[in-house]
Structure formats: structure tokens, C-alpha cells
């Protein structure tokens, strides 16, 4: 989880490979999100499949700030558990 300036708010990796991949790809997801937003895009979610990995990028808001937060998840699953991500985001909104 990070803010719009790439400041990491929280992170978890299950392996060193995951850490490297996510840390290296985070700026690209933020840049892509900025590019799509500038083109008038309203959607905040992206799902990218690359080989056997699925990347999920989502933007969400918390009440205390006007700027959004971002969530980037990498999963080996073909069917990404959207309902679990939604529940996680709501839990984070309640904590922050």
C-alpha cells in the first residue's frame, strides 16, 4: 500500500522474488494510472496478467485525506479474489 508519491505505507512479501518484482513495478503502475487518469479515465482498478502472475492495482480513498492511496498485489492465482481485496480495503479504511 502506498500513496501517490510512492511512499510505502505498508507492505508484505512472501518471498524475496515477490519483493523485487513489486518494488520494481510499483512506479510503472502509478505512471500508468496517472496516464489513464489524464486521458479522462475514471476507473481505479487494473488487473494485469503476466506469465503465471496476476497483478492487481487499485486506488481507494480514506476520509482523512483528499489524496488517494494505492494497493498493489501480486498473486499466482488465475482467478483473483476480488471480494477479499474489497474486504481488505474496507478494513484498512477503518484503521487509517
Instruction: Name which of 82, 83, 28 is nearest 50 in CA terms.
Output: 28
pLDDT, position 80: 67
SS (H, E, C) 57-73: EEEECCCCCCCCEEEEE
pLDDT at 20: 93
pLDDT at residue number 41 = 56
**Rounded CA separation 66/80 (Å):** 29
pLDDT tens, residue by residue, 29-84:
888 888 777 666 555 778 888 888 888 888 888 877 788 888 888 887 766 677 88
Q: Looking at domain 2-95, does it have CATH number 1.10.3470?
A: no
What is the reported pLDDT for 40? 60
Residue spans per domain, the chain: 2-95
Tell me what pLDDT residue 16 has: 94
Kindly report the pTM of this predicted structure.
0.77
Amino acid at each position: 500500500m502506498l500513496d501517490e508519491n510512492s511512499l510505502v505505507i505498508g507492505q508484505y512479501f512472501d518471498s524475496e522474488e515477490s519483493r523485487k518484482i513489486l518494488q520494481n513495478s510499483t512506479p510503472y503502475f502509478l505512471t500508468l494510472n496517472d496516464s489513464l487518469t489524464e486521458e479522462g479515465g475514471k476507473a481505479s482498478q487494473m488487473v494485469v496478467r503476466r506469465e503465471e502472475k496476476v497483478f492487481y492495482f487499485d486506488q481507494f480513498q480514506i476520509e482523512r485525506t483528499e489524496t488517494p492511496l494505492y494497493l498493489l498485489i501480486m498473486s499466482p492465482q488465475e482467478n483473483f479474489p476480488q471480494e477479499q481485496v474489497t474486504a481488505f480495503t474496507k478494513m484498512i479504511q477503518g484503521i487509517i
